[in-house]
Amino acid sequence: MTKKLLMCGNEACGEGAILAGCKFYAGYPITPQNELTAYMAKRMYETGGSFIQAESELAAVNMVFGAAAAGARAMTSSSSPGVSLKQEGISYLAACEIPAVIVNMQRGGPGLGNIGPSQADYFQAVKGGGHGDYRLIVLAPASAQEMLDLTFLAFDLADKYRTPSFILGDGLLGQMMEPITIPSKLQPKEYQKPWALTGCKGRKPNILRSLLLGDGALEEHNKKLQLKFAAIKDAEVHCQCFNTKDADIIIVAYGSVARISKAAMEAARAKGIKVGLIRPITLWPFPEKIIEAAARTAKKFLVVEMSAGQMVEDVRLAVGDKAKVSFYGRMGGGVPDDKEILREIETLI
């Protein structure tokens, strides 16, 4: 039987993790994701998993490294300043090919910033963040329901590719209460983890390492990682398109801003302006082919973000010189409303 619940996005994320069989969570308090840490404390207790309130985000992500290295599904979450601290661990997870899920409910920055919603950590999530050549699978939910669904998916993708995956949300999504549906037949896929550290009974010892000093060894390892990232890029692009076929102007937006932009699109259509919307669900891999194809028919693109303009760079790369790309952004916790976006659309006509 499907279950209906009223939850905020942070809690829905936690429930998605529980449904995915997450057995270990470590976190450190930071607004606006505290509901998630509290939810995991409760649900880990109820489901026989482990919850640790760590001494720092550094410790939290490295605890997750340990739990996931030992084969468990594991997650950590934070908001922007805390996610900066996690970058070291994320780089090691990617390097050692350890699957785990990291959640960033972004807030205004830089520095301590504020606790308003933001999308200013796009570069950090999508372009690397930590040191070295690696990619994260970055999923961008736009509702409480998707906080659950995409967290569930994040665990699956992490195990499937043996790599960390990342939920890029924002404070608005985390705090908003919405009805969610839990499908009755949601069963996490089981993955064999012959590489996990479980004690070497009956097999050769397993070693997890990222230090490769041998001649050319690290370059070989990097090539192997890049092949994996290429496979992810081929197979895992997720994206939603609305009214793009006949659109003169296409908005590109993700997360909460995609929802607000959808309202703006509808208002524009009501006024007879042919507006469409492309909403990347995976920010990496980025739906560049879909955007490129849309640029063959649409004349103009408007990228809307809660940042000074980050994803817009990827849209520009995809569009090339096929169409004009404009940007509208709010920063430091500012949230654009549909009227603002509509005004912006009207200036483009």
Partner 1 sequence: MKKLRNRQTGKPANNGPAPLCSHSLRDVENHYCAGCGHGIIHRLVCEAIDELSIRERVIGVAPVGCAVIAYDYWDFDVTEAAHGRTPAVATGIKRVRPNNIVFTYQGDGDLAAIGTAEIIHAANRGENITVVFVNNGVYGMTGGQMAPTTLAGQKTATTIHGRSLRREGYPLKILEMLSVLPGTKYAERVAVNSAHEVLRAKRAILKAFKMQMEGKGFSIVEVLSMCPTYWGMTPIQAADRIKNEVATFYPLGVIKSC
Ranges within 141-180 binding partner 1 (CB under 8 A): none
- Cβ burial of 235 (10 Å; 0-12, 13-18, 19+) is exposed
Q: Name the residue nearer to partner 1 (CB basis): 1 or 213.
A: 213
Piece of the chain touching partner 1 by CB under 8 A; list 9-17, 32-40, 191-199, 324-332:
191-199
Binding letters toward partner 1, positions 3-42, x by CB under 8 A: --------------------xx-x----------------
For the chain, what's the residue count?
349
CB of 136 to partner 1, least distance (A): 17
Answer for the pair 299, 324: CB distance below 8 angstroms, yes or no.
Answer: yes
Dihedral pair phi/psi, residue 279, rounded to 5°: -120, 100
Q: Name the residue nearer to partner 1 (CB basis): 73 or 330.
A: 73
Binding letters toward partner 1, positions 207-246, x by CB under 8 A: xxxxx-x---------------------------------
Dihedral pair phi/psi, residue 73, rounded to 5°: -75, 130
Piece of the chain touching partner 1 by CB under 8 A; list 120-128, 185-193, 202-210, 242-250:
202-210
Report the residue from 52, 105, 136, 312 that binds partner 1 according to the rule CB under 8 A.
52
Q: Is 135 in the site for partner 1 (CB under 8 A)?
A: no
Rg over CA atoms, the chain: 20
Contact partners, residue 348, CB within 8 Å, separation at least 6: 249, 300, 302, 326
Q: Name the residue nearer to partner 1 (CB basis): 89 or 117.
A: 89
CA gap 122, 25 in Å, rounded: 24
CA gap 135, 283 in Å, rounded: 11
Give strand ranges (E) for 23-120: 24-27, 50-53, 74-78, 101-106
Ranges within 53-112 binding partner 1 (CB under 8 A): 54-56, 58-60, 62-72, 74, 88-89, 92, 96
Q: Which residue has the tokens 């809690």?
A: 11
What six digits make up the tokens of 165?
A: 């995956």
CB of 58 to partner 1, least distance (A): 7
CB of 198 to partner 1, least distance (A): 7
Q: Name the residue nearer to partner 1 (CB basis): 92 or 155.
A: 92
Q: Is 340 in the site for partner 1 (CB under 8 A)?
A: no
Answer for the pair 94, 163: CB distance below 8 angstroms, yes or no.
Answer: yes
